[in-house]
Amino acid sequence: MDLDGRVALVTGASKGIGEVIAIRLAVAGAKIAVNYRTDLEGASRVVDAISASGGTAIAIGADVSVEAEAASLVKEVIDTWETVDILVNNAGITRDKLLIRMSPEDWDEVITVNLRGTYLCTRAVLAHMMRQRHGRIVNVSSVVGLSGNPGQANYAASKAGIIGFTKAMAREVASRSITVNAVAPGYITTAMVEQLPEEARQSILARVPMARFGTPEDVAEVVAFLCTEGAGYVTGQVIGIDGGLAV
């Protein structure tokens, strides 16, 4: 997959799925803006890994849920490389609790980071992408945005909102050759899954037809494809990366 000459902004890219997406896009030839909120050490590690492999990357700190910071983030990317061709809205958090115990703060924080952050970053890149009549936007949703999950009402609502947002935006900007798609990962081997008790892990695996957890690389490969010219006629889609869990 060839992304030579492209500039990609990946939010929440200091670790986990975002880190692997950033590195995968760099391998394909894109210059990468590695966004982080608080983890400068992690973001610097990702930049170093990309640079060590011959790629080009910078780390930019910003809270994507804050309007001024999201706008400044995109401006810094454009000031550095004169363009932004790819946006991967990956930044997200969880505050898992049963709804009866979920505080308004738990609800608001997840919705604000996951959904508002996606909105703000997308809005910030749109004017530039529309002027250049080209762009790739990939939003990271989740299988729970499709199926729900006990204890994750806030997270499921935010990820379902991202799906609706993706479809609406795809319709709005298709005439400018900008594609907007979403990926919906299932259970991926990130720190959150690895910390689950073994009994819980086995219970999850019993529901996955492929009988294994996904990897961040599984997600990154799909995201990378959606960013290429070969995916130019793919828009408004939600691609499950879940081993068949949502079938």
155 is catalytic: yes
**Closest of 92, 82, 199, 197 to residue 132, by C-alpha:** 82
Alpha-carbon distances, residue 111 vs 26, 31, 96, 158, 194 (angstroms): 30, 29, 12, 5, 24
Contact predicate 78/85, CB 8 Å: no
Contact predicate 80/57, CB 8 Å: no
Phi-psi region of 210 (alpha: psi -120 to 50; beta: other; left: phi over 0): alpha
Cα four-point dihedral sign 67, 18, 93, 163: positive
Contact predicate 182/161, CB 8 Å: no
The tokens describing 67, both together, are 């309007």
Out of 119, 155, 187, 233, the active site residue is 155
The tokens describing 31, both together, are 């210059």
Residue numbers annotated as active site: 155
